[in-house]
């Protein structure tokens, strides 16, 4: 939507570290289509490339791109109550959970506002899209609401595009080809002199390389 083809999901909570891969599968497998339910081609393929990491990991991997390179929407997720009691130890006068919140608040602000600088390498353009979702805690109810939100969002996007989010024909071709290759591997294991004559040249090269044990 809005011309963006990529979306990042950034939870500032390590127990949600598997959330982004889950939403990646939910969104990309459901809405990665280019044909409507009526069989008409879409003007542009539907679905976005979804990825993500827990907040502080993301800041030191791809946030450079987000701030000064190619813009893409980011959904930040914060949790008010930590899953575990905080240790009495504080670094710079704050707890680890408060440190996460400091970054959760600052990153969207930096994306939106940017920063002027005479040194162009230190200039931040700002006006970069993001949204923030806040959970009370990590209880089943709160996490369930979060998952329901993404499920509803996925279906709603599909309705807008006019596609069926409940089929995944795109994964079938690769599975069929893998089945054919699996049969060839089984024949080779059974008959050492078996040649991969029914395979295309690229597949034959890969299989011959596999059984030779070297390039």
- Residues annotated as catalytic are 29, 60, 175
- C-alpha angle 148/12/101, rounded to 5°? 120
CA-based torsion, 161, 52, 19, 172: positive or negative: positive
Tokens representing 11 are: 């939870």
Tokens representing 129 are: 């899209």
């Amino acid at each position: 939507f809005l011309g963006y083809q990529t979306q990042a999901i950034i939870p500032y909570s390590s127990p949600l570290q598997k959330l982004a891969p889950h939403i990646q599968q939910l969104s990309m497998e459901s809405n990665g289509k280019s044909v409507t339910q009526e069989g008409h081609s879409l003007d542009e393929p539907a679905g976005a490339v979804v990825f993500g990491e827990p907040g502080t990991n993301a800041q030191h991997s791809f946030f450079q791109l987000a701030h000064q390179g190619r813009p893409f929407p980011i959904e930040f997720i914060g949790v008010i109550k930590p899953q575990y009691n905080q240790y009495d130890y504080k670094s710079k006068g704050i707890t680890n959970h408060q440190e996460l919140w400091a970054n959760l608040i600052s990153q969207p602000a930096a994306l939106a506002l940017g920063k002027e600088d005479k040194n162009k390498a230190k200039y931040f353009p700002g006006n970069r899209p993001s949204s923030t979702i806040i959970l009370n805690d990590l209880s089943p109810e709160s996490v369930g609401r979060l998952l329901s939100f993404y499920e509803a969002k996925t279906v709603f996007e599909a309705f807008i595009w006019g596609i069926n989010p409940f089929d995944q024909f795109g994964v079938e071709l690769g599975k069929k080809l893998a089945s054919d290759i699996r049969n060839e591997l089984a024949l080779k294991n059974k008959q050492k002199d078996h040649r991969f004559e029914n395979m295309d040249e690229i597949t034959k090269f890969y299989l011959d390389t596999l059984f030779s044990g070297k390039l």
